[in-house]
Structure 1
Amino acid sequence: MNESNKPSPSAQEIEIQAAAFRRLLEHLDQRKDVQNIDLMNLAGFCRNCLSKWYKAAAEERGQSIDYDQARELVYGMPYEQWKAQYQTPASAEQNAQFAAQQQKNDH
């Protein structure tokens, strides 16, 4: 079933979904040790994906937001600051796993 076939969510469902999204962002903020490449390798998405999805959802609803604004919302700070403070170099194993996943998923 695609999203266009689903009934519109109630206001309460929207509030619950928004709360769950905020909790996901809080969880990711508490787990800065989990690198984006780890998320991509294990789950097929990362903080940058969430930022892109947020931007797309805003634009679908007529809201103008740029990618950097969306990333700041997801990361809780400017992306470059997060990257400088928390991002570690990916290992050869992580990069190989990522490349294999990209080929498999044709990302």
Structure 2
Amino acid sequence: MTDTDFETTQIEAAAFRRLLQHLMVERTDVQNIDLMINAGFCRNCLSDWYREAAEQRGITMTKDEAREAIYGMPFAQWKAQHQKEATAEQLAAFEAAQRRHGG
């Protein structure tokens, strides 16, 4: 790995940590379903990607461990504190978004 590769990795890691800070501390009001509707991914997707990256490096990680790494707390605790029941409008928008993206 060159110094440039190392620096790029450090910058990417810092940007990822900032994204997590934004989603987990500053914008807990934004629901996962809204992220899925508007961006095509959510906090759970991030945790899946995190676990996949760990496994590609030979690190075994459960779904719950990955979610705790992303949410900064056990997922059940996050849900209890921040997740609201999806509205009929959100569910309809989610279904429409899934159809648009072939999901």
| TM-score normalised by structure 2 residue count | 0.91
C-alpha displacement of 1:20: 0.5
C-alpha displacement of 1:61: 1.2
Gaps of 5+ in 2: none
State the match for 1:20 in structure 2.
15
Paired with 1:106 and 1:79, the residues of 2 have a C-alpha distance of: 28
C-alpha displacement of 1:105: 1.5
| TM-score normalised by structure 1 residue count | 0.88
Taking only aligned residues, the RMSD between alpha carbons, in angstroms, comes to 1.0
Paired positions, count:
99
SS at match of 2:60: coil
Paired with 2:99 and 2:56, the residues of 1 have a C-alpha distance of: 29
State the match for 2:63 in structure 1.
67
C-alpha displacement of 1:106: 2.4
Identity of aligned residues (%): 59
State the match for 1:87 in structure 2.
83
Paired with 1:33 and 1:103, the residues of 2 have a C-alpha distance of: 26
Gaps of 5+ in 1: 1-8
Instruction: Extract structure 1 runs of 4+ deviating beyond 3 A.
Output: none
